[in-house]
Amino acid sequence: MTEQIGIIGGGIVGIAIARALTQRGMGEVTVVEKEHRVAMHQTGHNSGVVHAGLYYAPGSLKATLCARGRDLTRDFCLDKKLPYREVGKLVVALTAEELPALENIESRSLANKVPDLRRLNAEQIKEIEPHAAGVAALHSPHTAVVDYAAITEAMADDIRQAGGKILLGHEVTAIAQVSGKVHVTTTAAELVFDRLIVCAGLQSDLVAKFVGASPSPKILPFRGEYWALSAAKQHLVKGMIYPVPDPSFPFLGVHFTRGVYDDIHVGPNAVPALAREGYGWGTISLKDTLASLTWPGATTLAKQHWRMGAKEIAASLIKPLYFKEASRFIPELEMGDLTAKTAAGVRAQAWASDGSLLDDFAIDQVGPVTLLRNAPSPAATSAMSIAEHLIDHHVLARP
């Protein structure tokens, strides 16, 4: 009898897993998504960068999946005739104090075999990005940009063509295990599966409660806000200009990215969202906010990162502070060059009960239910390789 496999979550990772299952002929696959189209949340609200693997610890799962995912994403875009543009990326050290951190990134990049990576001095920076400041930089010429929502839609078409189902407008309200089967209740149907894979992103900890999984890690939503660069100043950025990241904080800092459709955005910052799907300060969920404030790790997190948090919140609310940060990298930038804020994204940051912010994958298994509790950046880049890994090492590993 054909096995029934359910996937909760219609973001790029859930859709990639469903597509891989249908390609392997592993059963009848059904994706359950609460929104009325796929890629509505993290997938459709990011910068579109296909990361080359500069930052990740050599040999780590993140590094391995990023390299494999980059190749799979490129090949998929070529096959489907979707845009894939290698605009290149500079990671810029503005001062001599940042050089040791830049050298660490260079060492990791070389170990991760980032293709054609180059170390640049101040003069060479100008050859790549004529308007950028900096004393040194790393240049990754094959770092690319794509349209992840379009990729997700194309993968969804593959699922349907292979006989899989994608049920939109089905918010999950309960999950129960009965006689070896998984019963999923949604707002529109009662579904029964032999196996269930949960890729619920911003809602992953709430869905995990339905199956009796540990409450940790909890999801702490962080909003990233972008400013658009005015059309008159788009010549200031050729590709991507990134800062040397703070290794103690799991965010890259404000940067410049030329998107796949030639729009240039500046950002994101990283501020705690006041709701799981809080794409602006006006979206507030008292329930979500209270749950974050009462989490056991809240005090520890606040003590560790309150300065960074205050800085990010201030920059969100006060444009001159945001501009000051951005103009360090492009001195010619003027405040008026940052036009209206573009659509913000909300990142599902996994948060342990000791206050630490998870920077690696977290996968739980509860009987026939596989829960992807954390798929850290670069999850969009790695989506297709995450699918391979999860199927090979978790789904197939379970009898």
Q: Are strands 4-8 and 195-198 parallel, antiparallel or unpaired?
A: parallel
Among the CATH numbers 3.50.50.60, 3.30.70.360, 3.20.20.70, 2.60.40.180, which is that of 4-45+149-217+359-395?
3.50.50.60
| Residue 341: predicted pLDDT | 74
Number of H helices, E strands in the chain: 10, 21
| Residue 310: predicted pLDDT | 65
| Residue 134: predicted pLDDT | 97
Is residue 396's pLDDT more than 80? no
pLDDT grade for 156, boundaries at 50, 70 and 90? very high
| AA letter at 219 | I
**pLDDT, average across residues 371-377:** 91
CA angle, corner 71, sides to 250 and 197, nearest 5?
A: 65
Q: How many C-beta neighbours within 10 Å does residue 298 have?
A: 17
Please state, rounded to an integer, the average pLDDT across all residues of the chain.
Answer: 91
CATH class of 221-238+247-355: alpha beta
Alpha-helical segments (H) within 98-242: 99-111, 122-128, 148-161, 204-210
Is residue 119's pLDDT more than 70? yes
**pLDDT, average across residues 74-95:** 98
**For residues 59 and 152, is the Cβ–Cβ distance under 8 A?**
no
Q: For residue range 3-60, list pLDDT tens digits in order.
A: 999 999 999 999 999 999 999 999 999 999 999 999 999 898 888 999 999 999 999 9
| Residue 200: predicted pLDDT | 95
Q: For residue range 257-288, list pLDDT tens digits in order.
A: 999 999 999 988 777 788 888 887 778 788 88
Distance CA 64, CA 382 (A): 9
Closest CA to 47 of 199, 256, 188: 256
Which of the residue ranges 306-310, 362-366, 374-378 would you say has the lowest mean pLDDT? Answer: 306-310
* Residue, of 129 and 310, whose pLDDT is higher: 129
Q: Would you kindly state where each structural domain of the chain is located, as residue ranges?
A: 4-45+149-217+359-395, 221-238+247-355
Q: How many C-beta neighbours within 10 Å does residue 250 have?
A: 18
**pLDDT, average across residues 298-312:** 69
